[in-house]
Structure 1
Amino acid sequence: MCAISKGFGVSVRGRYQGDGIGLVDDKGRVAIPSALRTTLSANAPKANGKDGGTIIIGAHQKNRCLVAYDPGYVDILAERLDRRESENTSENGEYDYNIKRAAASGEAVPFDGSGRFIMPAFPRFYAGIKGHAFFYGVLDYIEIWDPATLIATDGMPPVVKEMARFYMAEKGVQL
């Protein structure tokens, strides 16, 4: 799904829907699946009109996976975190400093017209991503998982676990 304009010239962000598996090489290079890359490119087109752009990769605030999104989502994320912070401020004016600490990690990296980018080392280590990365669009952002970690994570929807199993079986790997 791509970003579209809707009424009064207001731009509506494209939602990240889609999934896929990417092979991760020794340097951390991986390609974003095409459905997700199309939305990413539409949400953050390059000024020169060429293919590619910037993706922000960071640790998920709860699970051992990564979150990925376009630079335009940073303002939306900051607004949500500001709201959560204000809702969790005590009478003495102290707030939970960990609200932003847990959710604000991220490193901007370029991706090319084929969706290839180099996954930053610490986030890749944090999520345990080695040879394969499972990409899953969750509307506002993309989750990137080590497939085995996803399957072992309590609370994940069964259909998402089966997606990871399916893509890995296509690669000849049983989980």
Structure 2
Amino acid sequence: MAAARPPFSFETGPKTKERAPVARRFRGSETYKVDAKGRVSIPAAFRRVIEASDPDWVPGNRPNIVLVYGPERQTWLEVYTIKAIEEIDAQIEDMQRNSADRLQLEEWMHGQAQELQIDEDGRLVLPQRLRDKIGLEGEAFFISAGDYFKIWKPETYQAHYAERQRRLAEQYPDDFDPRSLLPGRPKG
């Protein structure tokens, strides 16, 4: 006779004390409305990655993120999961103390960043000064970047994307396969 299986929950997988493993990569892009208070819904798939990558999150709690707004010339916001920012923090700690590179990374990733929580409705509240910094008004464009995602003013992103496509067209032939840029993996 087969052993009874524990009840299943879409939120946590089999009902155990540990959460089921969930992919921690962001994928895709979406545009969402930003209200007058700066609240913007985070794509549902992004919220699952944020929750899975926050070691303190349990259902019913608000998941934590780190928003990096960067230097004045940066025209987008970067949103990191707790796990991703901890990995970056560890890499910064491994650098030579007081080196120019470490000081720059500390300023960007610590000094030009803010810890925030996702509200109970799955929204992020973007402070006015950050909305002003990137010119965000009625809509926000979210685009994945692996273990973090970026928030852009849609028109700024479109201009950035068009320029990048123009440069790529000059650099690579029409039939270029971007996967060819991936490093080889050891065979084993």
TM-score, normalization by structure 2: 0.63
Q: Which structure: larger Rg?
A: 2
Separation (CA, whole Å) in 2 of partners of 1:156 and 1:115: 32
Give, in angstroms, the shift of residue 53 of structure 1.
1.4
Separation (CA, whole Å) in 2 of partners of 1:109 and 1:94: 29
- Are 2:137 and 1:130 aligned? yes
Aligned with residue 154 of structure 2, among 147, 152, 157: 147
RMSD (Å) for aligned C-alpha atoms: 3.1
Give, in angstroms, the shift of residue 121 of structure 1.
2.4
Question: Match of 1:53?
Answer: 63
Give, in angstroms, the shift of residue 114 of structure 1.
3.5
Question: Match of 1:164?
Answer: none
Give, in angstroms, the shift of residue 148 of structure 1.
0.8
Question: Match of 2:107?
Answer: 101
Where does structure 1 differ by over 6 angstroms across 4 or more consecutive aligned residues?
none
Q: Deviations over 1:11-37 (max 9, x none)?
A: 786111121111001110000011111
The percentage of counterpart residues that share the same residue type is 25
> Which blocks of at least 5 consecutive residues in structure 1 are unaligned?
3-10, 159-175
Instruction: Check 1:81–1:46 CA distance in 2 against 1; reply closer, same or farther (3 A cut).
Output: closer
What code does the residue aligned with 2:154 have? P
- Are 2:47 and 1:41 aligned? no
What code does the residue aligned with 1:121 have? Q
**8 A contact 1:150–1:156 mirrored in 2:** no
Give, in angstroms, the shift of residue 50 of structure 1.
1.6
TM-score, normalization by structure 1: 0.68
**2:79 is paired with a residue of what secondary structure?**
strand
Instruction: Check 1:34–1:150 CA distance in 2 against 1; reply closer, same or farther (3 A cut).
Output: same
**1:129 is paired with a residue of what secondary structure?**
coil
How many pairs does the alignment contain?
Answer: 145
Instruction: Check 1:156–1:37 CA distance in 2 against 1; reply closer, same or farther (3 A cut).
Output: farther
Separation (CA, whole Å) in 1 of partners of 2:61 and 2:164: 34
Instruction: Check 1:143–1:157 CA distance in 2 against 1; reply closer, same or farther (3 A cut).
Output: farther
Question: Match of 1:80?
Answer: 91
Q: Deviations over 1:67-125 (max 9, x none)?
A: 01222322211123345x43xx8xxx753432321333221222134311211222222
Instruction: Check 1:77–1:157 CA distance in 2 against 1; reply closer, same or farther (3 A cut).
Output: farther
Separation (CA, whole Å) in 2 of partners of 1:57 and 1:37: 14
